[in-house]
Amino acid sequence: MKITDAKVFVGGPKKNYVTLKIMTDQGIYGLGDATLNNRETLPAQYLQDYLVPNLIGMDPRNSEDIWQYFYRGAYFRRGPIATAAFGAIDMALWDIKGKLANLPVYQLLGGKSREGAMVYAHATGADLEDLMDSVAFYVEQGYKAVRVQCGIPGMPKGYAVPEAKGDNLNHITDYTGIRPKVEVWDTDRYMRYMPGALERIRERFGPELKILHDVHHRLLPREAAAFARAVEPVDLYWLEDPTPAEDQDALRLIRQHSTVPIAIGEVFNSIYDCNRLIEQELIDFIRVAVTYAGGITPVRRIVDLAGLHHVRTGFHGAPSHSPICMAAQAHLNAWAPNFGVQEYLVLGTPECDALFPSEHRMENGMVWVSDAPGLGVDFDESKAARYDYVPGSHPVVRLEDGTMWNY
Ligand code: GCO
Ligand code: MG
């Protein structure tokens, strides 16, 4: 069996999904996602210029060797541009393998460990009252877990917070241009306000709701330790990215001062970014994404390592991941013995569903994996032609005095 061709598409309904389609001499094709948020053209180019020409002629069934060939063969290893491109190839090869075997990918991983996989939604508000409405909206729809972010009095804009009350800010990319907007951050205001706000959410929604909160890398290690201690009474399901991920020792300080579960890893792109954190049991949830971390092959290794250390999965599922990455994660979530939760933003616009038809279902705050062979998601090339790449950007963050800070 041989790969005969592969095509890369960039675009989508209000997103720049990078979609890889690998064709074979047996008529079976596979799909992968290489969307690197706000840098989408780069993995696309890497695929087009270097990887696709080498893929042609390879036996698609040898997904392990193909992953090693590109990873080791690049010489300059890792980095999210490369791993997103490798990740797309790897997903497409598992898709092909499943179609060949006539089995859904979760069966190739070891079968189902559960029926539905719990997801969490993003509740957000310009202020706390607005956030409460947003949480109530998700709770009414059956979500068991909700991430909560709200505006901080006196701070013009916090992370993932809408400007006006009632706006539902589900994507943070601004498609009006390539130059990022500037947001202003004030740690002191955040530290004073947020623990009390989280307590009020707990009081209002009761003990059952799983409440998650994302600090988005904004605190210094000592601040993060103090914040984690302050939010202990809230009984958070997790505290996400309390400090920038590069300084892994920071997490030790947090651990020494608090038992709040820590989730980290959405910016990681290899097992070497998290093996120490996992082995030293400094985290509770590993947040890698199948796209950025290089595909199902390496993520399965991360999940297995995590399982040895009581670390559960909480895969990244921001709106930048296409339904192909979400499908790959749905299969891993169905299998992983140490599954925790899946981040899930409703992508389900009719345009998105038409571009990526699939039978994966979201119902009652759970994802139900499709039983179709392979990844169980398709891609309608005829519809893809409607969408072009639209340059966009995340905001950047500065402190009040102008100092650059962590987005
Ligand atoms: C999350 C993330 C995202 C990121 C985004 C960056 O928890 O979902 O923090 O919202 O900001 O993926 O591209
Ligand atoms: Mg996050």
The pLDDT of residue 158 is 78
Residue nearest to atom 12 of ligand 1 (CA): 318
Residue nearest to atom 13 of ligand 1 (CA): 37
Rounded to the nearest whole angstrom, what is the distance from the C-alpha of residue 47 to the centroid of ligand 1?
A: 24
Surface-to-core class of residue 27, CB atoms within 10 Å of its CB (0-12 exposed, 13-18 middle, 19+ buried): exposed
pLDDT one-digit tens code per residue, 253-299: 999 999 999 999 999 999 999 999 999 999 999 999 999 999 999 99
Helices (H) and strands (E) in the chain, counts: 14, 16
- Examine the pLDDT at 3 and tell me if it is beyond 60: yes
The pLDDT of residue 347 is 57
The pLDDT of residue 371 is 98
User: Per-residue confidence at 164, pLDDT binned at 50, 70, 90?
Assistant: confident
Q: Which of 96, 106, 97, 64 minimizes the C-alpha distance to 294?
A: 64
pLDDT one-digit tens code per residue, 12-40: 998 999 999 999 999 999 999 999 999 99
Global pTM reads 0.97
User: Per-residue confidence at 170, pLDDT binned at 50, 70, 90?
Assistant: low
Least confident piece of the model among 101-105, 107-111, 161-165, 199-203: 161-165
CB count in 10 Å sphere of residue 140: 8
- Ligand 1 binding pocket, CB closer than 6 Å: 37, 172, 214, 216, 266, 316, 318, 320, 343
Residue nearest to atom 9 of ligand 1 (CA): 216
The H or E element containing residue 155 is none
Give the CA radius of gyration of the chain: 21
Tell me the domains of the chain and their CATH numbers.
3-104 (3.30.390.10), 108-373 (3.20.20.120)
Distance of CA 167 to the CA centre of its chain: 22
User: Per-residue confidence at 41, pLDDT binned at 50, 70, 90?
Assistant: very high
Is the Cβ–Cβ distance between 36 and 289 less than 8 Å? no
Strand partners, 6: 22
pLDDT one-digit tens code per residue, 321-367: 999 999 999 999 999 999 999 999 875 688 999 999 999 999 999 99
Which residue among 124, 148, 214, 315 is best mutated to probe the pocket of ligand 1, counting the most ligand atoms within 8 A of its Cβ?
214
Q: Tell me the mean pLDDT in the region 198-208.
A: 98
Q: Which of 343, 374, 344, 372 minimizes the C-alpha distance to 359?
A: 372
Q: What gap in Å lies between CA 253 and CA 251, rounded to an integer?
A: 5
**What phi, psi does 7 have (nearest 5°)?**
-125, 150
CB count in 10 Å sphere of residue 67: 20
Active-site residue list? 159, 216
Measured from the alpha carbon of residue 80, the closest ligand is 1
Rounded to the nearest whole angstrom, what is the distance from the C-alpha of residue 85 to the centroid of ligand 1?
A: 19
- Would strands 361-363 and 366-368 be described as parallel, antiparallel, or unpaired? antiparallel
- Examine the pLDDT at 93 and tell me if it is beyond 90: yes
